[in-house]
Amino acid sequence: MKKPQVFIFVFLAGACAGLLFTGCAATHVKELSAVDFVKQAGEINEVNGAHWTRYVGRTQGRVYLEYQHSSLIGDGVRTTVYWTNLPELPKEIAENIKVGNAPWGAGFPLLENSESQ
């Protein structure tokens, strides 16, 4: 290969690798079953420096958790937002959420109720 072709190849390979790693750093959104959602929410009160879960709130029949863990590559954290359908949760938990009580500790304030829209 000639020098300009080697430079272009190295540049493109680096750009592709950069896109791959920054794409891995993005926030992910994932649906969980009600059972798995409750299990994940149970981690809210755990004290752990490597990962943590927070209650985000609800909108139009869905409930959200934010899960963050330390990045294995580079600095910072990776975030996954988990959600499930509110009617699929156990009745007691769903009722607490509907009246504005976060059943998993303090967490974040509930999002505005947008079911009336």
Q: Which tens digit of pLDDT belongs to each residue from 15-46?
A: 445 444 544 556 899 999 999 999 999 888 77
Q: From CA 41, how far away is CA 39, in angstroms rounded?
A: 5
**Contact status, residue 31 vs residue 37, Cβ threshold 8 Å:** no
* pTM given for the model: 0.65
pLDDT by position in tens, the chain (length 117): 566 665 555 555 554 454 445 445 568 999 999 999 999 998 887 777 778 898 988 888 999 999 988 776 666 778 999 999 999 999 999 998 888 887 776 543 334 433 433
Order of strands, sheet of 62-70, starting from the edge strand that comes earlier in the sequence? 28-31, 77-85, 62-70, 51-59
